[in-house]
Amino acid sequence: MMIAFSVFGILIAITVSSFKQSLELQQLSALLMEAHDTVGLVFEQISREVRTSDVETLTASGGTLSFTNQYGVPITYTFDNGSKSIQRDGTVITSENQNIEIRGFRVGLAPGTQGTEYKRLVMTVETVVTDRRGIEYPSVIQTSVSPRFYE
């Protein structure tokens, strides 16, 4: 009888441990998806404005992106290292989730392919997701955007 209780206790412990670990992995994957969604929304907002902007005014360096939009209004996106946020003209556009930290926002211009003369904006965002145990999971997300030309 003692052997049966011991085996049953071990099986219960294994089952509970597996269930707990699967819940922790689900929480981590939800945090990673939220981080990617946040960055995706930032990329989408910037891309939408850059695609219709005046390509001649597009400047990008380090963590700052500046251009004039289609209505002639100057727009500036910056990375604020103090608040770890991406801002559009001083207004924070990223999520304020305490478990997601944006550690970097880099923008740069690249020449077009095969001798074309249009500018291509390359944006890179580094995020870190921290789980309940304090373990950090870094992620780097990058995309490029080409302005459209209207004649």
Q: What is the pLDDT of residue 117?
A: 58
In a domain, 97, yes or no: yes
The average confidence (pLDDT) of the chain is 83
Q: How many domains in the chain?
A: 1
Given this model, what pLDDT does residue 19 score?
A: 94
Q: Which helix (H) or strand (E) holds 91?
A: strand 91-92
Tokens 């500046």 belong to residue? 66
| 69: pLDDT strictly greater than 70 | yes
pLDDT digit string, tens, across residues 41-55:
888 998 888 888 876
| Position 131 pLDDT exceeds 80 | yes
Q: What angle do CA 54, 63, 112 make, to 5 degrees?
A: 45
Query: Is 15 among the domain residues?
Result: yes
Rounded to an integer, what distance in angstroms lies between the CA atom of residue 100 and that of residue 34? 8
Task: Print the domain residue range for 140.
Answer: 2-145
**Percent helix, strand, coil in the chain (nearest 5)?**
35, 40, 25
